[in-house]
Amino acid sequence: MLRLLFMEFILVIKCKNKISIVLIAILIPLFSIAESIEKDSVFASYEKELSTKAIEISKIRFNEKLADSLSNSLATYFNEILEMDGAINYPFDSITSIGKVQTENGKLRIFTWNMVRDNGTYTYFGLLQVELKEQKDVKTYRLFDKSDSIINPESSFLTNANWFGALYYEIIESKFIDGNLYTLLGWDGNDLYTNKTIIESLTITQNGEPKFGAYVFNIDKKKQRRVIFEYSRMANMMVHYDSELDMIVYDHLAPSNPVYEGNNAYYGPDFSFDGFQFENNVWNHVSDVNYESIRSKNVKKNFKKRKR
């Protein structure tokens, strides 16, 4: 609307005199700003609507047909919004009950949410959006959770059509062989007895297609495509990227009693830490990271810097 009014206004001015070119040069950026504000206002209203729908889904219990239907409708609707002109520039960071991770430059972002099934398991929904600089194009992909049917997830190469669903809470960008590697940290409320935390690998092809599961995790000289931790639903496991150490650090898991060896429902943190460090295109496993000691030294070091 603003663009049409602006073009008509320019034609009128051009007909008056040549001096008006200066006025046009001043008005062009002002109209661009006004158009941007108008777009943001439209996306803000969509954002509120998406929040309302997502909150409604999060409150549904013991009615998985309804939750599934509403979640699929939300995914379709959100996908349509993300494909609108200018959507890549709107943050969508105020949507309640939908998680978002994105790269520092905002050119790749992933939205995820879930629904609870009647048996206590979860199904995940996701949308991935990537801006292709060279092609001057933006692509959006819906992620379809097929984790129940993936037999060997640690060694499976996956796409958006057969995604190992999770709620992503952190993304790590690294230089890779012929582009970038995106390492995703995610949570899965597995079932009534255990939770899972997933360290996922993601690459984007030249035409913008997402591929999950590069062979980048080196554990005991064996490579795998993703790392999956399973532990007691009563436990909280820490898995996060420490930028100062340049390492993914996580709680080492162990059974609460040796008799429960192999039964993940009784596994939890044992107050020791392991990690992964990225080197030569691979995340190498590091055992027995003295994390508490290193972290306390860094805190003291930063405190001394601030005192100066």
pLDDT, tens digit, 9 for 90 and up, residues 192-207:
999 999 999 999 999 9
**pLDDT one-digit tens code per residue, 116-138:** 999 999 999 999 999 998 888 99
Q: Can you give the length of the chain in residues?
A: 308
CA gap 252, 269 in Å, rounded = 6
Give me the mean pLDDT over the 142-166 stretch. Answer: 97
First and final CA of the chain: distance in angstroms?
56
Give me the mean pLDDT over the 179-185 stretch. Answer: 96
Give me the mean pLDDT over the 131-157 stretch. Answer: 95
Tokens of 210: 């997402």
pLDDT(216) > 60:
yes
pLDDT at 177: 84
**pLDDT one-digit tens code per residue, 1-34:** 545 444 554 444 454 555 555 445 444 454 444 4
Residues 6+ apart with CB under 8 A from 76: none
Tokens of 35: 């158009």
**pLDDT one-digit tens code per residue, 69-119:** 999 999 999 999 999 999 999 999 989 899 999 999 999 999 999 999 999
Give me the mean pLDDT over the 224-234 stretch. Answer: 98
Does residue 203 contact residue 176 with C-beta atoms inside 8 Å? Answer: yes
Query: To 5 degrees, how large is the angle CA 170–CA 176–CA 180?
Result: 50
Does residue 138 contact residue 69 with C-beta atoms inside 8 Å? Answer: no
pLDDT at 303: 33
Give the sign of the dihedral formed by CA 85, CA 88, CA 91, CA 97: positive
Tokens of 4: 């049409």
pLDDT at 298: 60
**Average predicted confidence (pLDDT) for the chain:** 88
Does residue 76 contact residue 126 with C-beta atoms inside 8 Å? Answer: no
Beta strands of the chain (E only): which ranges?
Answer: 99-102, 108-116, 122-132, 137-144, 158-159, 167-176, 179-188, 194-204, 210-212, 217-219, 222-224, 227-232, 239-242, 247-255, 267-279, 282-286
Instruction: Select the more confidently predicted residue: 4 or 253.
Output: 253
